[in-house]
Amino acid sequence: MNKVKRIEIFSRLREDNPHPTTELNFNSSFELLISVILSAQATDKGVNKATAKLYPIANTPEGIIALGEERFKHYIKTIGLYNTKGKNIIKTCKILIEQHNSEVPDDRASLEALPGVGRKTANVVLNTAFGHPTMAVDTHIFRVSNRTKIAHGKDVVEVEKRLVRLIPDEFMMDAHHWLILLGRYICTARKPKCGACLIEDLCEFTKKVYD
């Protein structure tokens, strides 16, 4: 795909949704971090349902530590892998208190050093909480990037690096949100809704029949 097409694609996405953001509910960088950790292999809707009860009770590292691991797990038990996530979040809260004055760090190395935080989670926090022009590639963005040919790659890191290199700077801040929403609601895995897609005429996907 050439540069002209990419500019037109992201221009249309911006015009349709000028101020995109995550569908996770949060009011602080800490809440966002915890929600993103919880969202691995879970839906944003499911995470929001759990955190709606959790955050009014505990929305700081100290607050979650005060709950204790078992009580904290009670709040997130409806979320997949809640035992592992619960242990990691408790450990993360302790590190934030001991090493970062209870604040979420805004650099990749420090974020990825936190239990339960990988490259994708770090990129989401850096972009959404701190305004860094990063690209968090999940299954939706990986699929959309390869299918449309915006940026193809054999794994998420390769796709991430190509997207960062190929997406014009003016779109980088919001590109993650546009692409994830496109993949979640339009360019779906089994039955992409091509006829309802804003960029259908620019997409380089070799169309096939979906039943």
Q: What is the CATH number of the domain that holds 53?
A: 1.10.340.30
Quick one: 84 and 145 in the same domain? no
Quick one: 108 and 177 in the same domain? no
What integer pLDDT is reported at residue 210 of this predicted model?
42
What integer pLDDT is reported at residue 1 of this predicted model?
86
Cα distances (angstroms) measured from residue 68 to each of 65, 90, 157: 5, 8, 35
Number of C-beta neighbours around residue 209 at 10 A: 4
Distance CA 158, CA 156 (A): 5
Q: 54-111: per-residue pLDDT in tens?
A: 999 999 999 999 999 999 999 999 999 999 999 999 999 999 999 999 999 999 999 9
Quick one: 112 and 164 in the same domain? no
Quick one: 148 and 183 in the same domain? yes
Quick one: 122 and 40 in the same domain? yes
**Catalytic residue check, 107:** no
What's the alpha-carbon Rg for the chain, to the nearest Å?
Answer: 18
**Catalytic residue check, 120:** yes
Quick one: 124 and 33 in the same domain? yes
Quick one: 35 and 107 in the same domain? yes
* Interaxial angle between packed helices 29-38 and 82-100, expressed in degrees from 0 to 180 and rounded to the nearest 10: 150
User: Is residue 164 one of the residues assigned to a domain?
Assistant: yes
The mean pLDDT value of the chain amounts to 94
> Which of 49, 87, 94, 138 is labelled catalytic?
138
Percentage of the chain beyond pLDDT 70 is 97
> Which of 120, 155, 201, 208 is labelled catalytic?
120
Quick one: 123 and 81 in the same domain? yes
CATH number at residue 159: 1.10.1670.10
Provide long-range contacts, Cβ within 8 A and 24+ apart, for 17-24.
Answer: 17/177, 17/178, 17/181, 19/174, 20/174, 20/177, 20/178, 20/181, 21/128, 21/177, 22/124, 22/128, 22/177, 23/48, 24/48
Burial of residue 7 (number of CB atoms within 10 Å: 0-12, 13-18, 19+): middle
Distance CA 144, CA 127 (A): 19
Quick one: 142 and 62 in the same domain? no
Any idea which residue has 């959309």 for tokens? 144
Total number of domains in the chain? 2
Domain ranges, residue 168: 3-20+134-196
Quick one: 87 and 122 in the same domain? yes
User: Is residue 210 one of the residues assigned to a domain?
Assistant: no
Quick one: 15 and 78 in the same domain? no
Q: 154-178: per-residue pLDDT in tens?
A: 999 999 999 999 999 999 999 999 9
Q: Rounded to a whole number, what is the distance in angstroms from the first to the last CA of the chain?
A: 28
